[in-house]
Amino acid sequence: MSVARRQRTLARPVTVTGFGYYSGRDIQVEFWPASEYTGITFVRHDLGPQARIPASAALRVDMPRRTTLELNGARVEMVEHVLAALAGLRVDNCEVWVDAAEMPGCDGSAQAFVEAIDAAGVVEQRSPVPQIVVRQTVRVGGSDRWIEAQPSRSAGLSVTYDLDYSSHKAIGRQTYGIDVTPDSFRRELASCRTFITEDVAQGMLAEGRGQRVTPRDLLIFGAHGPVDNSLRFADECARHKLLDVVGDLALAGCEIIGHVVAYRCGHQLNTELAKRLLEQAEAYDGRFGFMAQRRCA
């Protein structure tokens, strides 16, 4: 049985600025300390302080290529990198105030958010962090793409991602696995960037999206590799997809103790696994009921 650590929040507020990849507008995100059992809550203060959106898998709405949450008409988009940074550094309680729907893209990674959290510092709170301990394998998806959670092989969360872009030789097939801790997240995952193929990028531009984005803002893969950019890791694409898994699983609203294996999956399946794990935890042990009420109501 895993021994729960204590909940953590920020020591002081901190701000990250940038622009939205889809909207092109300037955006400011403020990370604020929060009390125990708050979880991660997005606040659209441009709509008013009442526009609060908990980071919950139950609130996910379908939008291409990004994780989006909506409650009572208020929406936040591309939240996966913010959530990954908070989860990777084990910040359990935080209010994320933003002046637009979309989070800033920065360089396509979670690095700017990690640097801001480290600058703010974290403080330990009194209560234990809620946990889901995976006791049996849970899988979602089909034969061509899937993600599953297995009983833990360590004291926390570990993830292995199998990326298969065999049809695009510059990306190819990559597999990366890691025990997710604050140190390993900072060192191995935080700087790994969003990637798309050149034809997809051109299609988005033709549709009027991403007009402000350049090849320096993320990884755009042509036939021979990144266009006007260079890789930070040989397997950066697999690492970034693993980063997305960490962010999307944070929508379970608690710490997951288990080993997650993913094959060619994206945000929809990642979030579906978070839902399934929470459902099974509630069914297995009634002590998780308060978490569902607190995070997913």
C-alpha R_g of the chain? 18
Give percent helix, percent strand, percent coil of the chain, each to the nearest 5: 30, 35, 40
Question: Are β-strands 14-19 and 74-77 bridged in parallel, bridged antiparallel, or unpaired?
Answer: unpaired
CB 113 within 8 A of CB 18: no
Tokens of 189: 């995952």
CB 277 within 8 A of CB 149: yes
214: Cβ contacts below 8 Å, ≥ 6 apart: 228
Q: Please confirm, yes or no, whether 259 is among the known catalytic residues.
A: no
Tokens of 245: 């898994």
Catalytically active residues are: 267
